[in-house]
Structure 1
Amino acid sequence: MTTTTLSPTSCYEIRPPFLFRWEDSQQAHVLLYPEGIVKLNATGGEILKRCDGRTTVAELIEQLSRSYDAADPATIRDGILKFLEVSHGKGWIRAKA
């Protein structure tokens, strides 16, 4: 697996053919794709919700640090970066050009 270096100024978006949405039947955010569905936990949903092609990685981290009232922002940052790296590696997101 290749490691992605995420720049604080990069913006990410959901990559087609994935469709990100709230699914009432799952009571969770999901990624739909032709072969199936990925049910996200609450934090994963909050991260991908912000992968709109306009929000930078730094802004995403700042928003979630405030949202979760993080006592240790470094822990939140590391978790977000790891999730974004995995999401990019799985092809769920791509850098917005």
Structure 2
Amino acid sequence: MNGRAPTWRPRLPPTAVLRHDHVRGGHVLLVPERVVVLRGSARAVLELCDGTRTVEEIITRLGREHGTPEDALRDDVVAFLTRLRTEGGLR
């Protein structure tokens, strides 16, 4: 991913809901006509997607909070957010 995350400031659309699903035993993102089951740190990533932080700022914060080097997070976070954006789960 060229070493830098996009300057895009992701945010959940108004129709999206993050919640714990007792049936699935984990967190989900509910968007119209579908459910995205969240694994690992996906919920933590999405909770930072409020439209005020760039993707790079999200990566920096996650790295600091989890004690993980930003370079180890960047490609996965960018791919996850880009995929959700393409599928309509983020703006």
TM over 0.5: yes
Q: Do the aligned partners of residues 58 and 40 (structure 1) sit closer, same or farther apart at CA in structure 2, a change above 3 Å counting?
A: same
Quote the offset at 1:33 in angstroms: 3.0
**C-alpha RMSD of matched pairs (Å):** 1.9
Deviation per CA, 1:3-53: give whole Å up to 9, x if none.
xxx623x211112422123x1514432111343422201311111111111
For 1:63 and 1:55, the matched residues in 2 are separated by: 10
TM-score by length of 1: 0.74
1:68 is matched with 66
Which of the numbers 68, 83, 88 marks the counterpart of 1:91?
88
For 1:87 and 1:36, the matched residues in 2 are separated by: 12
TM-score by length of 2: 0.78
Question: Secondary structure of the equivalent of 1:20?
Answer: strand
Counterpart amino acid of 1:57? V
Percent identity at matched positions? 31
Q: Which runs of 4+ in 1 moved over 2 A?
A: 26-29, 33-37
Question: Secondary structure of the equivalent of 2:30?
Answer: strand
1:42 is matched with 40
Unaligned 5+ runs, structure 1: 1-5
